[in-house]
């Protein structure tokens, strides 16, 4: 084939061959392999398509793993940020909390008040973050999913 194309040795990487109507792809592949004698790899279109689709699917798994790792780090950092924010709020409100204790609130009531406030602020923020992060992750991963890649090929 290289001679038929007029190319010097080692200058071509692939050649696409189309069978005449009525010639099965497997027969063409077998004849080319026999003619080339192992000098080249001969694949039919379905094999090429599957090989090309495997690359993006693997990258999708890598992207998903990276997003999972970043999610773990973000959660870990977020816990410290939230804990620091609530600690700062409590330090700022020390006088008000002491005043509640002075007028008769028990320590259990003050703790319940603090927990209720943390729940009222944290729950909507957590749900909103989970929905938003799930949506963003789906958008980032969607193009690399193998089913959609194979549909495009």
Asked whether the predicted pLDDT for residue 152 surpasses 60, the reply is: no
Q: Residue 116: what pLDDT? A: 92
Burial of residue 141 (CB within 10 Å: 0-12, 13-18, 19+) is middle
Answer for the pair 134, 128: CB distance below 8 angstroms, yes or no. no
Q: Residue 10: what pLDDT? A: 65
DSSP class per residue in the chain: -HHHHT--TT--------PPTT--HHHHHHHHHHHHTTSS----HHHHHHHHHHHHHHHHHHHHHHHHHHHHHHHHHHHHHHHHHHHHHHHHTHHHHHHHHHTT--HHHHHHHHHHHHHHHHHHHHHHHHHHHHHHHHHHHGGG-HHHHHHH-
Q: Residue 112: what pLDDT? A: 94
More confident site: 17 or 139: 139
pTM: 0.42
Long-range contacts of 91-97 (CB under 8 A, 24+ apart): none
Q: Residue 11: what pLDDT? A: 63
Q: pLDDT tens for residues 97-138?
A: 899 999 999 999 999 998 998 888 888 988 998 898 888 878
More confident site: 9 or 68: 68
Q: pLDDT tens for residues 43-88?
A: 777 777 777 776 666 666 677 788 888 888 988 898 888 888 888 8
Q: What is the mean pLDDT of residues 21-46?
A: 75
| Position 3 confidence tier, pLDDT thresholds 50, 70, 90 | low
| Position 31 confidence tier, pLDDT thresholds 50, 70, 90 | confident
> Which has the closest alpha carbon to 41: 59, 51, 117, 4?
51
> Which has the closest alpha carbon to 74: 142, 145, 143, 126?
126
> Which has the closest alpha carbon to 149: 51, 42, 43, 16?
51
């Amino acid at each position: 084939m290289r001679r038929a194309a007029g190319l010097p040795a080692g200058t071509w990487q692939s050649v696409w061959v189309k069978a005449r109507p009525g010639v099965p792809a497997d027969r063409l592949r077998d004849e080319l392999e026999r003619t080339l004698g192992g000098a080249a790899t001969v694949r039919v279109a379905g094999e090429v398509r599957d090989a090309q689709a495997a690359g993006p699917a693997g990258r999708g798994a890598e992207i998903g793993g990276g997003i999972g790792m970043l999610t773990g780090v973000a959660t870990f950092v977020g816990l410290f940020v939230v804990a620091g924010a609530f600690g700062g709020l409590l330090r700022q409100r020390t006088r008000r909390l002491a005043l509640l204790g002075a007028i008769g609130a028990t320590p259990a009531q003050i703790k319940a008040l603090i927990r209720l406030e943390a729940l009222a602020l944290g729950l909507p923020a957590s749900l909103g973050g989970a929905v938003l992060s799930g949506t963003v992750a789906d958008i980032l991963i969607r193009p690399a999913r193998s089913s959609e890649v194979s549909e495009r090929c």
